[in-house]
Amino acid sequence: MNPHRPPTNFESHVFDALHLIPKGKVTTYGALARYLACRSPRAIGQALKRNPFAPETPCHRVVSGDLRIGGFFGAREGEPIERKIRLLLSEGVRILADGKIDPSCAFRFDE
């Protein structure tokens, strides 16, 4: 992958949709895929991994379907995940003792 290439049309649609998720809320890879009529939450994750506009284009607001933190810039642990958690907490997202996002912080595109 060329890190300097412009986003594809698909990636641009994914990045645009991220701006619909308000601060203090998260959505899931699956919900974002459904919103974009994409059959693959994994494709969403691959697009988010390539987001050159973060954190202004808030890919950190997308979490796993079970409301766990999920990945961040292709990582599943370490400093990238700690950074994602810090970003979410700074925006008012509540993380429960079991590491999951408080369901009241979940954003639905159909609301």
Residues 36, 48: contact at Cβ < 8 Å?
A: no
Task: Quote the CA–CA distance of 33 and 56 in Å, as a whole number.
Answer: 20
68: which DSSP letter?
S
Tell me the two tokens of residue 1.
Answer: 């992958």
Active site residues: 59
Judge whether 65 and 28 are in contact, CB under 8 Å: yes
